[in-house]
């Protein structure tokens, strides 16, 4: 009987592998291989031509040494352990405005505890705070009833896809390259990904003509396109959209009746002086469009920005232009999925949207921490961009924002054939050779999608700044040897 | 165009309402009504015959005033803000063993931060700690590779259901009454719930003959039954299974080739001297069965027990008897769903499984807090059980464990007709009348399933102990008036 049982289990899993044909490159084959190498290095130091694995694959800043923002952590800790608020020693350990903020936050949480389930959509007072932060960012009002707090961006995307997708006849316009959360979620919910290509030659430009072409093409195949996903600043591509471009996108969605799903999780990561983050809501309102003119979902997370609090799982979605009934349905989907988001994540997203202001006791030290992180990220982005552009056969657009570079590899034919011989895509082959030679972990471009016949890697800008020059040297030496070996 | 768009959105939602035909009673209609009443009370004190809403609907202890366990919160806070570890004032505010534990925990977290993504299955060192805690609880070894850390019990259930269910031809044996997470998850993954009834007349007994009957019946209808869900201690029914009964269940699953999905989230909530919690793994091992003899998934959570940390979202599943490939697939499902569990929840579950021991600096105060909460819960359970049994036409089994009573209402025919007249199930009608008259929120039994023609309510034992006598008075007065009004 056990044998039958095991047989069934394996049969399921075969089935499952088909169903879950999608993969999640960022934690895929290369990362498993890296973990094996790390294990070997620990057990047998000197067994590889490097002494540490350098993770350039995930946007996970704190695991690479970035410090948490003190003010945010102080408030979290005081909310988690309220007895501290009444102790005299606490004033020696925490800033006065963190203590005051923690009291304000506890006042709005039922039971004054981070240990309770919240309302499905988040603690009301924290949604109020997030809405106030959005309004202050945009200069246009935000309604707390439009704000739903989530455990990072992921559940928000899943909920929206669950709402929009009925069958494979429902399509979602998605950028290529794209962060694979979107392809995975569309796949899981049984819909069709309708790709639109970002134009690498214009700095990963988003062209309306391309959107229109792909939309018409999908429609001609009987696909009902429901939504357009835009990631701004871009992941993995790092571009920051220009205002005029955003206006065109808003009009496109309005005219075509598409939900605009704006992934704005990198809103605090802009590194160039001539670009600025503008939320799609601000753009739409500045065009004179009101709530009812555009179906807009804006997604944010505490995992990125200068805070990089991936482990805390906090985020929000602001849902505008939909009726009350739709919001009730979002709530229902969340309830049925039992998505209860953790309270510390909810507090953190309220802080991220309402950081210390000029004049607050913590402001100067907060701002020094924030600017220190952002300016270091900008320097790291520039150094890596220059390094990639200095490599033979590699071209790399600027990382205007986000946390990634997405250089293109113009690989020699011999390398492509060598990849084929081991049944790997050429960018996967390159990434594996790079890892084996240097311990550097990057993600092959195929995990994000790319124009067929082009090859890329995604590389974060997150390893510690002092390590970057050494890493660049290793990268250069590897690349030179690789090209030498495979030069046509 | 916007009109077309809105039309589509509403069309989707109609579709969605069909797809999500399931409901989640614990946060359903009664709770929405209670929130409306609460709002009215705030805006117009005196507008109802009570001055507060008393939430007996959710197992959410801290929101009703239960204090968090100090040791657990101290460790969480020190891990969240490591600079505290180096400050002299910290020793005045935190216990020495909390400081030591926080250092140990930070040592096993990559980057020594709670701000990073962890491995998909949880931080390795914390999984080790949970496995050690399981081994110490059971007296049998536990393998860290079998332990996956999750954001509460919910994602664990969803992952297992996603693995087991291919179509509506796959069935899951579920207790009736049951915690509606199971029905919702089976529904969402497109499977069939195969009910087995707990026997109210023997204290919600779980009879093997009933399991066998329902299994055979399902098989005769072409359903492939994949798993048996057992909730022990029971939710909403509060029974604690006897060892002999558990042995029968283990043999039943083994012989029938079923996965045993053991919901053991109330393992720390047992209130009677003659019963003790035994994990199904311990039972199976004590019968001489090894890993490969039984497919067992044990689920636990930080939301219940004496800790009641619902807002932290922490939990684990221990998966034994499955091969390495199956565990890799669980990992893959988690990755594709992007279930990254928050680090504080992971730390907390490691603490819950390894609380202070005799001799540790915190032990006495920890134990006093723990015993204080558990003995108060036991007194509240007994007081409410007695109160229900004292009501005309109400019978209530003992809450041996968990956090609920599930009294049966023998309602007069006139009440049943009055319910019909307003298109409500009789228990829903009773719950609504109770809420309107007293502000007490309970969940109608229909949300959990019950033998057709019987009516129940689920009532937590969580409101503060000093409030219980007053609540009982209000309940008695209401019930008397209700019976008076509807007596046949």
Nearest residue to A154 via CA among B8, B120, B299: B120
Q: Which tokens go with A233?
A: 């600043």
CB burial of residue B192 (10 Å; 0-12, 13-18, 19+): buried
CA B93 – CA A304 distance, rounded (Å): 32
Counting Cβ atoms within 10 Å, is residue B82 exposed (0-12), middle (13-18) or buried (19+)?
Answer: middle
Closest in B70, B154, B342 to A312, CB measured: B342
d(C-alpha A156, C-alpha A331), whole Å: 11
Q: What are the extents of the domains in chain B?
A: 2-48+368-486, 107-353
**B449 Cβ contact partners less than 8 Å away, ≥ 6 residues apart:** B176, B177, B178, B183, B195
Give CA–CA dist A316/A131, Å, rounded.
10
pLDDT mean across residues, chain A:
93
Whether the pLDDT of residue A352 is over 90: the answer is yes
Q: What is the pLDDT of residue B25?
A: 67
Confidence of residue A4 (pLDDT cuts 50, 70, 90): very low
CB atoms within 10 A of CB A323: 13
Does residue A22 surpass a pLDDT of 60? Answer: no
Rounded to whole angstroms, the Cα distance separating B251 from B258 reads 10
- 3-state SS assignment for residue A340: coil
CATH architecture assignment, domain A2-48+368-486: Alpha-Beta Complex (3.90)
Q: What is the helix (H) or strand (E) element at residue A290, kind and residue range?
A: none
Other residues' Cβ atoms within 10 Å of the Cβ of residue B174: 24
ipTM: 0.92
The reported pLDDT for the residue numbered B119 is: 86
Closest by CA to B438, choosing from B65, B57, B51, is B51
Q: In chain A, which among 69-88 make CB contacts under 8 A with chain B?
A: 70, 73-74, 76-77, 80-81, 83-84, 87
Element (H, E) at A351: helix A343-352
Q: How far apart (Å, rounded) are the C-alpha atoms in residues B172 and B192?
A: 6
Q: How does residue A24 score in pLDDT terms, banded at 50, 70 and 90?
A: low
Stretch A340-351: mean pLDDT, rounded?
95
HEC readout, chain B: CHHHHHHHHHHHHHHHHHHCCCCCHHHCHHHHHHHHHHHHHHHCCCCCCCCCCEECCCCCHHHHCCCCCHHHHHHHHHHHCHHHHHCCCHHHHCCHHHHHHHHHHHHHCHHHCCCCCCCCCCCHHHHHHHHHHHHHHHCCCCCHHHEEEECCHHHHHHHHHHHHCCCCCEEEEEEECCCCHHHHHHHHCCCEEEEEECEHHHCCECCHHHHHHHHHHHHHCCCEEEEEEEECCCCCCCCCCCHHHHHHHHHHHHHHCCEEEEECCCCCCECCCCCCCCCHHHHHHHCCCCHHHCCEEEEEECCCCCCCCHHHCCEEEEEECCCHHHHHHHHHHHHHCCCCCCHHHHHHHHHHCCCCCCCCCCHHHHHHHHHHHHHHHHHHHHHHHHHHHCCCCEECCCCCECCEECCEECCCHHHHHHHHHCCCCHHHHHHHHHHHHHCEECEEHHHCCCCCCCEEEEEECCCCHHHHHHHHHHHHHHHHHHHHHHCC
Element holding A66 (H helix, E strand): none
A323 — contact with chain B (CB < 8 Å)? yes
A145-184 confidence digits (pLDDT tens):
999 999 999 999 999 999 999 999 999 999 999 999 999 8
Whole-number pLDDT of residue B3: 41
Q: Over the stretch A288-322, which tens digit does the pLDDT of each residue have?
A: 999 999 999 999 999 999 999 999 999 999 999 99
Closest residue to B115, CB basis, from A6, A8, A309: A309
Residues paired with residue B395 on neighbouring β-strands, in sequence order: B408
Nearest CA in chain B to A308: B115
**Looking at the predicted structure, is the pLDDT value of residue A44 above 70?**
yes
The pLDDT score that the predictor gives to residue B324 is: 87
- Under CATH, what is the fold of the domain B107-353? 3.40.640
Residues of B in contact with A68 (CB under 8 A): 81, 113, 115
Per-residue pLDDT of chain B (488 residues; tens, 9 = 90+): 444 444 344 444 434 433 344 456 677 889 889 999 999 999 999 999 999 999 999 899 999 999 999 999 999 999 999 999 999 999 999 999 999 999 999 999 999 999 999 888 899 999 999 999 999 999 999 999 999 999 999 999 999 999 999 999 999 999 999 999 999 999 988 999 999 999 999 999 999 999 999 999 999 999 999 999 999 999 999 999 999 999 999 999 999 999 999 999 999 999 999 999 999 999 999 999 999 999 999 999 999 999 999 999 999 999 999 988 888 888 888 777 666 789 999 999 999 999 999 999 999 999 999 999 999 999 999 999 999 999 999 999 999 999 999 999 999 999 999 999 999 999 999 999 999 999 999 999 999 999 999 999 999 999 999 999 999 999 999 999 999 999 98
Q: What tokens were used for B253?
A: 């699953």
Nearest alpha carbon to residue B397 among B244, B263, B240 = B240
pLDDT in tens, A387-402: 999 999 999 999 999 9
The C-alpha atoms of residue B220 and residue B223 are separated, in whole angstroms, by 7
Residue A67 DSSP one-character state: P
**Of A145, A161, A338, A464, which to mutate for an interface test with B (greatest number of B Cβ within 10 Å)?**
A338
pLDDT on residue A118: 87
In this predicted structure, what is the pLDDT of residue A14?
38
Inspect the interface and report whether the beta carbons of A257 and B8 lie closer than 8 Å.
yes
Record the pTM. Answer: 0.93
């Amino acid at each position: 009987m056990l044998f039958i049982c095991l047989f069934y289990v394996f049969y399921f899993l075969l089935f499952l592998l088909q169903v879950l044909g999608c993969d999640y490159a960022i934690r895929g084959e290369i990362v498993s291989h890296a973990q094996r190498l790390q294990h070997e290095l620990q057990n047998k130091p000197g067994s590889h031509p490097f002494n540490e694995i350098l993770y350039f694959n995930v946007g996970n800043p704190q695991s690479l040494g970035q410090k948490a923002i003190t003010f945010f952590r102080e408030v979290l800790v005081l909310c988690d352990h309220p007895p501290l608020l009444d102790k005299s020693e606490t004033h020696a350990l925490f800033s006065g405005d963190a203590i005051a903020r923690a009291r304000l936050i506890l006042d709005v949480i039922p039971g004054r505890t981070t240990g309770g389930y919240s309302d499905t959509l988040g603690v009301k007072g924290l949604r109020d705070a997030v809405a106030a932060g959005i309004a202050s960012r945009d200069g246009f009002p935000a309604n707390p009833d439009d704000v739903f707090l989530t455990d990072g961006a992921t559940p928000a995307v899943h909920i929206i896809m669950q709402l929009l997708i009925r069958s494979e006849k429902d399509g979602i316009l998605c950028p290529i390259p794209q962060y694979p959360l979107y392809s995975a979620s569309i796949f899981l919910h049984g819909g069709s990904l309708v790709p639109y290509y970002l134009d690498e030659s214009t700095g990963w430009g988003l062209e309306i003509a391309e959107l229109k072409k792909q939309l018409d093409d999908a429609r001609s195949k009987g696909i009902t396109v429901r939504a357009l996903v835009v990631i701004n600043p871009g992941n993995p591509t790092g571009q920051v959209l220009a205002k005029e471009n955003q206006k065109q996108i808003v009009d496109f969605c309005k005219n075509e009746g598409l939900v605009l799903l704006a992934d704005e999780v990198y809103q605090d990561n802009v590194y160039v002086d001539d670009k600025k983050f503008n939320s799609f809501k601000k753009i739409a309102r500045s065009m004179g469009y009101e709530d009812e003119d555009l179906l807009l979902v804006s997604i944010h997370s505490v995992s990125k920005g200068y805070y990089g609090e991936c482990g805390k799982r906090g985020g929000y979605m602001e849902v505008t232009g939909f009726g009350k009934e739709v919001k009730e349905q979002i709530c229902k989907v969340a309830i049925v999925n039992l998505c209860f988001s953790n309270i510390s994540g909810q507090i953190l997203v309220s802080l991220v949207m309402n950081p210390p202001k000029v004049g607050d006791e913590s402001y100067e030290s907060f701002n020094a921490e924030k600017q220190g992180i952002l300016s270091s990220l900008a320097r790291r982005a520039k150094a890596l961009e220059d390094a990639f552009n200095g490599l033979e056969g590699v071209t790399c657009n600027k990382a205007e924002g986000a946390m990634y570079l997405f250089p293109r590899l113009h690989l020699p034919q011999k390398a492509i054939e060598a990849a084929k011989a081991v049944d790997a895509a050429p960018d996967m082959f390159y990434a594996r050779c790079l890892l084996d030679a240097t311990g550097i972990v990057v993600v092959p471009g195929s995990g994000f999608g790319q124009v067929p016949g082009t090859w890329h890697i995604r590389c974060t800008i997150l390893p510690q700044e002092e390590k970057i020059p050494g890493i660049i040297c290793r990268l250069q030496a590897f690349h030179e040897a690789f090209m030498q070996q495979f030069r046509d």
